[in-house]
């Protein structure tokens, strides 16, 4: 069960999110627009997870994508959705607060 949860939430080998961001990764915040308006990572894209299916065309498959939300559940779901749609470099950062330290 723990392995399943790690896979669902994007756990696995550690990835240097700071390096990915420095190299141009897209930060995809999948919280609601109201949550996003209350605070977010500068330069991030907001596509609520419930709208992701119809708005994936806004994202490029050849760029790494880092998903985030409030706790990691929605960003984990978004990661799975993107991978199912053929996006290969997708990372779940969990809470958007985890990315604050990389903000410029």
Sequence-ordered list of residues with C-beta below 8 angstroms from that of 12, at least 6 positions apart, any chain:
6
Neighbours of 89 (CB within 10 A): 16
Residue 80: count of CB within 10 angstroms of its CB: 17
- Cα gap 10→94, rounded to integer Å: 9
Query: Catalytic residue among 69, 82, 93, 99, which?
Result: 69
| Active-site residue flag, 69 | yes
* Catalytic residue list: 69
């Amino acid at each position: 069960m723990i392995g399943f949860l790690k896979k669902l939430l994007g756990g696995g080998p550690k990835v240097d999110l700071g390096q990915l961001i420095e190299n141009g990764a897209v930060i995809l915040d999948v919280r609601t627009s109201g949550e996003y308006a209350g605070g977010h990572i500068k330069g991030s894209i907001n596509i609520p997870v419930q709208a992701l299916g119809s708005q994936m065309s806004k994202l490029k498959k050849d760029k790494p994508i880092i998903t985030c939300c409030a706790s990691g559940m929605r960003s984990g779901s978004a990661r799975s959705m993107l991978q199912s749609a053929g996006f290969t470099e997708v990372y779940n950062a969990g809470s958007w607060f985890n990315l604050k330290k990389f903000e410029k």
